[in-house]
Structure 1
Amino acid sequence: MESRQRINDKWFFSSTYETDLEKETELETFEAIQLPHNTVNLPYQYFDEKSYQKETCYFRKVTIDPMVRNFIRFEGVMAVAEVYLNGEHVATHKGGYTPFEVELPNTQTEHLLAVVVDGSERDDVPPFGAAIDYLTYSGIYRDVFLVERHGVFIEEPFFKIKNKAENTYTAELVFNVQEAGTLQVLLTGEDLAIEGTIDATVGANTFVFPEMTVNEWSPENPHLYELVILEEEDLLYQQKVGFRRAEFTKDGFYLNGENYSIIGLNRHQDYPYVGYAMPEEWQVEDVRVLKHELGLNMVRTSHYPQSLAFIAACDELGLLVFEEIPGWQHIGEGEWHDVLLQNVREMVVRDRNNPSVVLWGVRVNESDDHHELYTKTNALCRELDPTRQTGGVRYLERSEFLEDVYTMNDFSYDGGDTERLKREIEVATYDNVQVERKGLRTVEQVVGEKVPYLVTEYAGHMYPTKRFDQEERLIEHAMRHAVVVNAAYENPNISGAVGWCAFDYHTHENFGSGDRICYHGVMDNFRVSKFAASVYASQQDPKQNPIMVPLTNWTRGDRNMAQSVPIYVFTNCDEIEVRYNGKSRGFYQREEGGKFSHLPYPPIVLKEFNFLWGEPFGPLDVIGYLNGEVVVTKEYTNEPVLHDLVVETSHETLIKSDRWAAAKITMKIVDQKGNLLPFLMGSVRLENEGGEVLGGNDVPVIGGSAVCWVRTLPETDQIKLVATYGEFKKEVTIQVEG
C-alpha cells in the first residue's frame, strides 16, 4: 500500500550556505517558509541572475511511522540537490525538472531533513555548460511529499494501450511489486466498467484488459477513465487514463484516424517575481489560457519537462503535449550525458500514462548532431514507452535523423528584414536561408525527402514585440504569426506548427532586451494578450467562443503618415459591421482567396475608408455577427481620457493548506469605452491587510494595466486590498478558508 502526504509547510530556509550548515538543529534561527519557494525575491526587470546562482539550504523535521517504509519525494529542485538526514549525506540529484525520491531509515521516528540546493549553472548538469536563453531559478519550487509504503505497492506502472479498430482497444497494465499479493484492477468511466484480479508476483507483472469499446481522447473531447489498483480495501494506485491514436506520418499528423492540423505555442514556466515557484493552480491556469483563451491544440514544454499538474491539466482540458528533455543548443560531455539519460528516464516514467503526451523530445533543442548520445536517448525512450514516437528539435537542414519525427525550428520567414539589412551589412545567421518568403520551408528542402515533420518554433526572436510597443509593430508581429500559421495549413505534409512562444520570459544578459526579458510571446509575462494572440484565438470554433479583435488602438498619430487603415480584424465571426460616428459604413466579409486563405478563419480587412490628417475624427464601433446575430462588439472613442480603474481578481476565495495559494489581481486603467490606455505609465499603489503582494505594493503599469499576485501566509484568514491610481480607489476582499 502507498499513501502520500504533501509536506510543503514547516520548512526553514537559509539564503547562504557554509560547510556543515546541514547539521544545524536550531531551525528557528532560519526563515520559516512554505513551498513552492524561490531562493531570492526578484524584481521584474534589470536584475542580476547570478543572485540565485549559489548554494542555499532548506530544513524540515519529518515524523515517520517506523513500521512502514518512508520516502521523501521531490517533484522539482533546481538545479542540484544534496540531501542530508540527521546531518549525514544520503543522496544527490542533478537536474531541476524531474522528480526523485529518498528513502528514510526506520531507526528513529523523527528525522531532520536538510537539502543543500546548488543553483549555479554547472557544466555537469543539463541544460548548462554554455549560454542558454532562459533562466533556471533555484529552489525547491515544486511539491514535496512524504510517501509511506508497506506490503504490496506499485512501482513504475505503465498503462500500455493498443488500438484494434475505431474506438476499440486492448490494454496492458505493466508494473513491478516487491511483495506478492492478490490485486484488484478497475477501469471505469461513464461508458466503461472493467474489473479483474491478478496474483502479482515479486518483480514484473502484466494485467491484460479485454477488448474495449471506448470514447477516444482528443482536445475536442478529452475523455478520461479512472484506473485503480486495490488490495482488498487498500488503494495502491490511481490514475486518469485515456485512449487515442496519435501518429505523425509523411502525410501529416493523424489523431484517432483523422488528419489533424496542429496549431500550438511553446511555453516557459516563468512567472514575474517568483520565477518557477508558482503553486500548481497557476500551472493549471496556464493550460486554460493556452486552450481556451488562445484556442491552441498543442503545447511544447520548452525546453524541459514541466510540472505534473500542468501535464494532468492538459489531459483534463484537452491539449496535446510535445514534452522534451532539458537543454538548449549545448551538448556536454561525460557525466552530462549520464544526467541527460537519467532525465529521459524520469520524464518518460512520470508521464507515459498521460494521454495528452503524444511526442517525446529526446534531442537537446537546436543542438548539433551527436550519433552516440542521440542513439542512446532514442533507444531508452522507446524501451520505456514503445507506444509513442520520438522527435528531436533542430535548426539544421538534413541533419542525422534518428527519431521518428523530424521536428524543426523554422525561422526562415523574416518579413523582409534580411533583405533590408543586407543593404547595410552582411547578415549571416542560421535563419538566413535562401527561400521564397512563403512562411515555411518545405519538408523536402529541409530533410531531402518526405518524412513525418513538425515545425516546433517560428517568429519569436525574429520580431520581439513588447505589449506597449507602437501600434504598427504590434500589427506586424501579429501578421508574421499569421503568415506562418497560414503556411502550415497550406502544406498537407506538415503536421502543424508550434510557434515561439506563448508568454514573454526572463533570460540572461546576452539575450532579450537587456532588461532580462525576452519579449517573444504573444502574451506578456503576466499572461496579458498582445495583438498576436488574436491570430490564434480567432481560429477557434465560434460557437464555443466568438472572437473579434481589430488590430488598432484607433488613434490618429500612432501609425506612419497618420494613417488609420488598413485594420486587420482577426475574428471567427461570419461578418462584421463598421459604424463610424454612429453611422453604418457597411458590412465586411473575408476576401475569397486572400493572403491568409488557408487559415480556418482568415482576418477580415477594413481598407475601404480612410481619414486624412486634419479631417474630423470620430468614434468607431466594430460589430461581429454569427448566423445573423450580434455576438461581439468592440467600441472605440476618438477622444480617450483616463476614465476608470477596473480591478479584477481571479479568486474570491483562496484555500489555505500546507502550501501557499495566490490570487491574480488585474488592474486596468481604461478610457470611456473600457479600452486600456496603452501608453500610460506609473504604478498602482496596492495596500493590503493580510497576505503578501508578490513583487511589492507599487505595481507597475505596463501597457495600461498593472498585474500582480497576492499570496496567502500561514496566518492569513482574509485579504483586503485597496488599489489606488491618482484619484481612483477600488477595494477588493478575498476570503481565505481552510
Structure 2
Amino acid sequence: MERKQRINDQWFFSDTYEKGREQETELSRFEAVQLPHNTVRLPYQYFDEKRYQKETCYFRKLQLNPSVRNVIRFEGVMAVAHVYLNGEYLMTHKGGYTPFEVELSTLQEENMVAVVVDSSERADVPPFGAAIDYLTYGGIYRDVFLIERQGMFIEDPFFITRNLHANTYQPQLQFQLETAGDLRVRLTGEDVQIDVDHVGVIGSNTVAFPEMTVAEWSPECPHLYELTIFEGTEVILYQTKVGFRRAEFTKDGFYLNGEPYPIIGLNRHQDYPYVGYAMPEEWQVEDVRVLKEELGLNMVRTSHYPQSPAFMAACDEQGLLVFEEIPGWQHIGDEEWQAVLLQNIEEMVLRDRNHPSIVLWGVRVNESDDHHDLYTKTNALCRRLDPTRQTGGVRYLEKSEFLEDVYTMNDFSYDGGDTARLKQEIEVATYDNVQVERRGLRTVEQVAGENVPYLVTEYAGHMYPTKRFDQEERLIEHAMRHAVVLNAAYENPHISGAVGWCAFDYHTHENFGSGDRICYHGVMDNFRVSKFAASVYASQQDPKQRPVMVPLTNWTRGDRNMAQSVPIYVFTNCDKIEVCYNGQSRGFYTREEGGKFAHLPYPPIVLKEFNFLWGEPFGPLEIIGYLEEEVVATKSYTNEPVIHDLEMTLSHHTLIQSDRWAAAKLTMKVVDQKGNLLPFLMGSVRIENHGGEVLGGNEVPLIGGSAVCWIRTLPEEMDEINITARYGSFEKHGIIHVIEQASNMTEK
C-alpha cells in the first residue's frame, strides 16, 4: 500500500548556490518558504528575466520510516533538479514540466533532502537551445509528495476504454506489480457499480471488465466514474476518476461520441503576474473555469508543454477537451537534448493517459522543421504508451513530412490586409507570409497536399498584438480578426476546428513582445480581464447555458478615427437586440442573413443605421438582449463618463490554510455612472492588509481602469485576512476567513 503526504511546507531556500551547499545542515540562515515557489519575485513589466536563470538550492528535513520504501515525488521543478539525501547525490532530472520520483534509501529517521535547482536556459534541456517566446521562470513550482510504500502498490495504471458500439464499452485496466496478491477492482458511477476480482502477479497485469453501457464524457456532460483498486476487499491501493468517450479526427472533421463536433479553442500559457508559474492548485482550476465558462471554449492546447495535474483534472471535471503538447519551441537540439525530450514525453503520457479530456498528443516541437528520425521516435513512443489516442505535430510548414495522425498547423496567413499595406513601404517577409486569397484560413489541401485529418492550432496572436487599454478601433479590429478565422474554420467541413493564439497575455524574453516583457496576444490580459476579442468566443456558446451580449464600443466621441461611433458590432448569442438612444427606442436588430460571419453559430449583430457627426448632440445608449422574447442582458452607456465608484470583488471569502499557500484574487474596477470600466484610467490602488501578503506589493497598478492582485496566506496561523482598498476618496473593505486544514495525507 501507499501512504502519500504532500510536503509543500517547511522548506528552506538559498537564492544562490555554490558547490557543497547541498551538504548544509544548519538552515536558519536560509529563507523559510512554502511551495509552490518561484525563485525570484518579479515586477509586472520591464524586468530582466536573467535574474532567475541561475542555480539555487532547496532544503527540507524529513522524518523517514526506515522499515518502508520512501519515495519523494516532484510534480514540476524548473528546469534541472539535482537531488541529494544527507549530502549524498541521488539523481538528476532534466525538464521542468513533467514529474519524477526519487527513492530515499536510508537507515536514519532524521534526514535532510537538498534539491539543487538550475533554472538557467541550458542547451541540453527542452525547450532551450535557441530563442523561445515565453518565460520559464524557476524553482519548485508544483507540489511535492512524500510516499511510503510497502507490500503491494500499483505502478503505471492505464484504463483503456475499448468501445464496442455507441455508448457500450468493454474496458481494460493495465498496471504493474512488484508483489503478488489478491485484488478487487471497482468501477462506480452513473448507476454502474462493477467489481472484478483479480489475482495479481509480479510484473504486468491486465484486468478485463464485462461489457457495460455507460454515460459518455463530453464537454457538455463531463460524466466521470470512480476507479478503485483494493488489496483484498478493503485496503485501497489506487483510486482515480476515469471517463468514456469516442474521439476521432477524420478527413471530414472531428467526431466526439459519433457526432460531428467543431472545435473552438485557445492556447494557454501557465503564466501569472509576479510569481510566474508558481500559482497554487485553485488557480490552475480557475483557469479551466475561465476557459470553459467565461470564454465558452470546448478545447485548450497546453502550449507549449504539459501543465499541472490540477489543471488536467479540472478539464476532466468541468468538461474541456485538451491537446497536450511536449516541451519545445521551434528548436531541435542535439542527441542529448532529444533524449531528454523523449524522456519528457514518456513522463507526460504516463502521468496523463487516464484523462478523458485529452484527445490528442502533440509529439512534434512547436513550429520546428522536419526531423524524420526524431519524430519517428516520438510518434512510436507515444503510440506504444497510449495506442488509444491520435498524435499531432504543430508545424508552420506547408507539405511537411506527415508522420502523425493529425496534421496540426499554425496558420497565420490572415493578416487583415497588413502585408499589402506594408508592401507599399517595404518588402515584407515572415515565416507565415503566404500569398493566398485573403480568406481566414488556407485549405487543408493547400497546407497538407491532400485531404487529411486537420486541426488549426494557432492564428491571430503576433499578427495583431492588442493591449486591453488600446484605442477602441484596435480592440475592435483585434476581435474581428479572431472572428474572421473562426468563421473560416466553421465554413470548411474538412477542418476539425481552430485553436487561437491565445487565451491570456503572457511574459516573454526581451526579443519578443512589446519591449516590456509582455506579449499582448491574448483575448484576455495576464490578469484574466477580458478584451473585446473575448466576446467573439464567449458569444458562440449555447445561450441557455449563458446569455452573452458584448457591444464592441466604449461609446465615446473621438476615440475612433473621424469621430465615428458606428458601426457597432454586438457579439451575442441572443435572438435579437433593442437599441435605445437618449431614452427612446431606435428599434430591434437581428443578424444579417448571409453576412460576413454567417458560418459562426452566432454571428454578431451589426448596428450601422445611425451615426452622429462631430459637434452634434450626443446622448446615452442602452442595448437590450432578448432570448425567446425575454430580456436576458442589458448594457448601458453614459455620454458623459466620470469617475463614479471603486468596485471590489473577492474571488474567495474562505481560504484553506495547509502545507501549501492559498490565494484569493482581488479585482478592483474604477467605473462610471453606469458601472462601466474607465478604459484609459491609469494609476494605482492602495491595499492595506492585516494578515496575508499581497503578491506584487500593496500599490496595485491600475491598468485601463482595472487593478487586480492576489492575496496569499502565510505559514503562521491566522483566522482572517482584513483588506482595505483605497483609490482617491473611495474606500472598500473585505474579509477572507482562513481555515486550517488538519491533514493532507492519503493512504492507499
Instruction: Pick the TM interval, shorter chain.
Output: over 0.9
Deviates more, 1:660-669 or 1:431-440: 431-440
- CA–CA distance in structure 2, aligned partners of residues 212 and 129 of structure 1: 49
Write the letter of the residue equivalent to 2:281.
Answer: E
Residue equivalent to 1:555: 556
| C-alpha contact (below 8 Å) 2:74/2:100 kept by paired residues | yes
- CA–CA distance in structure 2, aligned partners of residues 542 and 407 of structure 1: 30
Residue equivalent to 1:444: 445
Once the two structures are superposed, what CA deviation does each residue of 1:232-251 show, in whole Å capped at 9, x if it has no partner?
32110001000000000001
Select 2:722's aligned residue among 713, 720, 723. 720
* 2:674 is equivalent to residue 655 of structure 1: no
Residue equivalent to 1:498: 499
Write the letter of the residue equivalent to 2:386.
Answer: D
Deviates more, 1:101-110 or 1:595-604: 101-110
Residue equivalent to 2:205: 205
- CA–CA distance in structure 2, aligned partners of residues 27 and 550 of structure 1: 57
Residue equivalent to 2:370: 369
Residue equivalent to 1:3: 3
Residue equivalent to 2:427: 426
TM-superposed deviation, 1:717: 2.5
Write the letter of the residue equivalent to 1:125.
Answer: V
1:293-692 equivalent positions in 2, closer than 5 A: 293-692=294-693
TM-superposed deviation, 1:109: 1.3
TM-superposed deviation, 1:107: 1.2
Residue equivalent to 1:49: 49
- TM-score w.r.t. structure 2 length? 0.98
Question: Which secondary structure does the structure 2 equivalent of 1:284 belong to?
Answer: helix
- CA–CA distance in structure 2, aligned partners of residues 294 and 505 of structure 1: 17
Residue equivalent to 1:62: 62
Identity of aligned residues (%): 81
Structure 1: gaps spanning 5 or more residues? none
* 2:157 is equivalent to residue 173 of structure 1: no
Select 2:732's aligned residue among 723, 730, 733. 730
- CA–CA distance in structure 2, aligned partners of residues 255 and 199 of structure 1: 36
| C-alpha contact (below 8 Å) 1:650/1:663 kept by paired residues | yes
C-alpha root-mean-square deviation of aligned residues, in Å?
0.5
- CA–CA distance in structure 1, aligned partners of residues 260 and 438 of structure 2: 26
- CA–CA distance in structure 1, aligned partners of residues 236 and 114 of structure 2: 31
Question: Which secondary structure does the structure 2 equivalent of 1:635 belong to?
Answer: strand
TM-superposed deviation, 1:3: 2.1
- CA–CA distance in structure 2, aligned partners of residues 263 and 606 of structure 1: 26
TM-superposed deviation, 1:55: 0.2
- CA–CA distance in structure 2, aligned partners of residues 540 and 3 of structure 1: 43
* 2:206 is equivalent to residue 196 of structure 1: no
TM-superposed deviation, 1:282: 0.2
Residue equivalent to 2:187: 187
TM-superposed deviation, 1:368: 0.2
- CA–CA distance in structure 2, aligned partners of residues 168 and 562 of structure 1: 62
TM-superposed deviation, 1:431: 1.6
TM-superposed deviation, 1:148: 1.1
- CA–CA distance in structure 1, aligned partners of residues 305 and 68 of structure 2: 34
| C-alpha contact (below 8 Å) 2:483/2:597 kept by paired residues | yes
TM-superposed deviation, 1:457: 0.1
Question: Which secondary structure does the structure 1 equivalent of 2:28 belong to?
Answer: helix
Once the two structures are superposed, what CA deviation does each residue of 1:577-622 show, in whole Å capped at 9, x if it has no partner?
0000000000000000000000000000000000111110000000
| C-alpha contact (below 8 Å) 2:76/2:143 kept by paired residues | yes
Write the letter of the residue equivalent to 2:139.
Answer: G
- CA–CA distance in structure 1, aligned partners of residues 110 and 222 of structure 2: 44
- CA–CA distance in structure 2, aligned partners of residues 430 and 491 of structure 1: 24
| C-alpha contact (below 8 Å) 2:410/2:457 kept by paired residues | yes
Question: Which secondary structure does the structure 2 equivalent of 1:106 belong to?
Answer: coil
Q: Once superposed, which parts of structure 1, at least 4 consecutive aligned residues long, lie more than 4 Å away?
A: none
Question: Which secondary structure does the structure 1 equivalent of 2:161 belong to?
Answer: strand
TM-superposed deviation, 1:664: 0.1
Write the letter of the residue equivalent to 1:536.
Answer: Y
- CA–CA distance in structure 1, aligned partners of residues 486 and 300 of structure 2: 15
Question: Which secondary structure does the structure 2 equivalent of 1:615 belong to?
Answer: coil
TM-superposed deviation, 1:220: 0.5
Write the letter of the residue equivalent to 1:183.
Answer: L
- CA–CA distance in structure 2, aligned partners of residues 235 and 23 of structure 1: 38
| C-alpha contact (below 8 Å) 2:391/2:404 kept by paired residues | yes
- CA–CA distance in structure 2, aligned partners of residues 111 and 246 of structure 1: 48
Write the letter of the residue equivalent to 1:422.
Answer: K
TM-superposed deviation, 1:423: 0.4
Once the two structures are superposed, what CA deviation does each residue of 1:469-514 show, in whole Å capped at 9, x if it has no partner?
0000000000000000000000000000000000000000000000
Number of matched pairs: 738
- CA–CA distance in structure 1, aligned partners of residues 383 and 438 of structure 2: 37
Once the two structures are superposed, what CA deviation does each residue of 1:249-290 show, in whole Å capped at 9, x if it has no partner?
001000000010000000000000000000011000000000
- CA–CA distance in structure 1, aligned partners of residues 345 and 153 of structure 2: 24
Question: Which secondary structure does the structure 2 equivalent of 1:27 belong to?
Answer: coil
TM-superposed deviation, 1:190: 2.4
| C-alpha contact (below 8 Å) 1:67/1:106 kept by paired residues | no
| C-alpha contact (below 8 Å) 2:299/2:323 kept by paired residues | yes
| C-alpha contact (below 8 Å) 1:215/1:243 kept by paired residues | yes
Once the two structures are superposed, what CA deviation does each residue of 1:437-468 show, in whole Å capped at 9, x if it has no partner?
11000000001100000000000000000000
Question: Which secondary structure does the structure 1 equivalent of 2:57 belong to?
Answer: strand
Write the letter of the residue equivalent to 2:450.
Answer: E
| C-alpha contact (below 8 Å) 1:38/1:276 kept by paired residues | yes
- CA–CA distance in structure 1, aligned partners of residues 161 and 572 of structure 2: 39
Once the two structures are superposed, what CA deviation does each residue of 1:326-379 show, in whole Å capped at 9, x if it has no partner?
000000001101000000000000000000000000000000000000000000
- CA–CA distance in structure 1, aligned partners of residues 433 and 276 of structure 2: 33
TM-superposed deviation, 1:197: 0.8
Once the two structures are superposed, what CA deviation does each residue of 1:14-36 show, in whole Å capped at 9, x if it has no partner?
00111101111011111001000
TM-superposed deviation, 1:150: 0.8
Write the letter of the residue equivalent to 2:262.
Answer: S
- CA–CA distance in structure 1, aligned partners of residues 606 and 432 of structure 2: 30
Write the letter of the residue equivalent to 2:564.
Answer: Q
| C-alpha contact (below 8 Å) 1:69/1:106 kept by paired residues | no
TM-superposed deviation, 1:213: 0.3
TM-superposed deviation, 1:111: 1.4
Residue equivalent to 1:711: 712
TM-superposed deviation, 1:430: 1.5
Once the two structures are superposed, what CA deviation does each residue of 1:52-76 show, in whole Å capped at 9, x if it has no partner?
0000000000112222111000000
Once the two structures are superposed, what CA deviation does each residue of 1:383-421 show, in whole Å capped at 9, x if it has no partner?
000000000000000000000000000000000000000
Deviates more, 1:496-505 or 1:184-193: 184-193
| C-alpha contact (below 8 Å) 2:721/2:737 kept by paired residues | yes
TM-superposed deviation, 1:171: 0.8
Write the letter of the residue equivalent to 2:151.
Answer: G
Once the two structures are superposed, what CA deviation does each residue of 1:100-120 show, in whole Å capped at 9, x if it has no partner?
000011311121000000000
| C-alpha contact (below 8 Å) 2:190/2:215 kept by paired residues | no
TM-superposed deviation, 1:681: 1.1
Residue equivalent to 2:255: 254
Write the letter of the residue equivalent to 1:720.
Answer: N
Once the two structures are superposed, what CA deviation does each residue of 1:123-151 show, in whole Å capped at 9, x if it has no partner?
00000000000000100000000011111
Residue equivalent to 1:269: 270
| C-alpha contact (below 8 Å) 2:190/2:214 kept by paired residues | no
TM-superposed deviation, 1:542: 0.3
Question: Which secondary structure does the structure 2 equivalent of 1:194 belong to?
Answer: strand
- CA–CA distance in structure 1, aligned partners of residues 474 and 701 of structure 2: 22
